Chains A and B, each alone.
Chain A
Amino acid sequence: AQRVTQPEKLLSVFKGAPVELKCNYSYSGSPELFWYVQYSRQRLQLLLRHISRESIKGFTADLNKGETSFHLKKPFAQEEDSAMYYCAPEGANAGGTSYGKLTFGQGTILTVHP
């Protein structure tokens, strides 16, 4: 079965501190991996995707296939980073064609204190 685990429901850090949001997945094949974010009173939106190898708002995420993890990291947290974060693999068939549907973790609420 496909499973995504975000072990921390709540994560609090102070401004300027490093932050790491953990994500472990159990998925058949080679899923595409995403992080989505939901800021207060805003709709859920893409933060970053593994295939792009990009850094968005200072966040990066490294895929560790051996550990099946896709942790989200930022070296210096800012107050505006306070939000709900979801790790979400996207399944694909054996031929690599994505199903276009995400499996979401339970989410981590990040609070960055001043």
Chain B
Amino acid sequence: NAGVTQTPKFQVLKTGQSMTLQCAQDMNHEYMSWYRQDPGMGLRLIHYSVGAGITDQGEVPNGYNVSRSTTEDFPLRLLSAAPSQTSVYFCASSLDGGNTIYFGEGSWLTVV
């Protein structure tokens, strides 16, 4: 059971570099989302998608870009990395609204 798979697990970036965090799910879930987890802040929603071709902003979208060309994949792009984006990133998916949300294992990103 793959569930929600995130890559890479660890990444160090220099300020100004760009990168993409990959997320894939094999459960045919319509809803996918990205969260970041910071100490004392809980998890905050970055972007989410309710189906292929549909994305919307969450609570902290600045500096991030997403697309949803397929049901399975929901990559998160950092356009120009900043130290403030040092965090743990979680991808999540659910069948639809109101259902259990399944999380990936997390991606640890450090921006120096």
Asked whether A and B interact, the reply is yes
A32-B98, A86-B43, A106-B41 as given contacts; A101 in contact with B48, CB under 8 Å:
yes
Number of interface residues of B (CB under 8 A): 28
A100 in contact with B41 (CB, 8 Å): no
A44 in contact with B103 (CB, 8 Å): yes
Q: Is A17 engaged at the interface, CB distance under 8 Å to the other chain? A: no
A106 in contact with B42 (CB, 8 Å): yes
B103 in contact with A45 (CB, 8 Å): yes
Q: Is B50 engaged at the interface, CB distance under 8 Å to the other chain? A: yes
B42 in contact with A86 (CB, 8 Å): yes
Contact with B along A91-114 (1 / 0, CB 8 A): 010000111111111110000000
Could you say which residues of chain A place their CB within 8 Å of the CB of B35?
104
Number of interface residues of A (CB under 8 A): 26
A43-B106, A44-B90, A106-B40 as given contacts; A100 in contact with B100, CB under 8 Å:
no
Q: Kindly identify, within residues 32 to 65 of chain A, every residue whose CB is under 8 Å from any CB belonging to chain B.
A: 32, 34, 36, 43-46, 49, 51
A102 in contact with B40 (CB, 8 Å): no
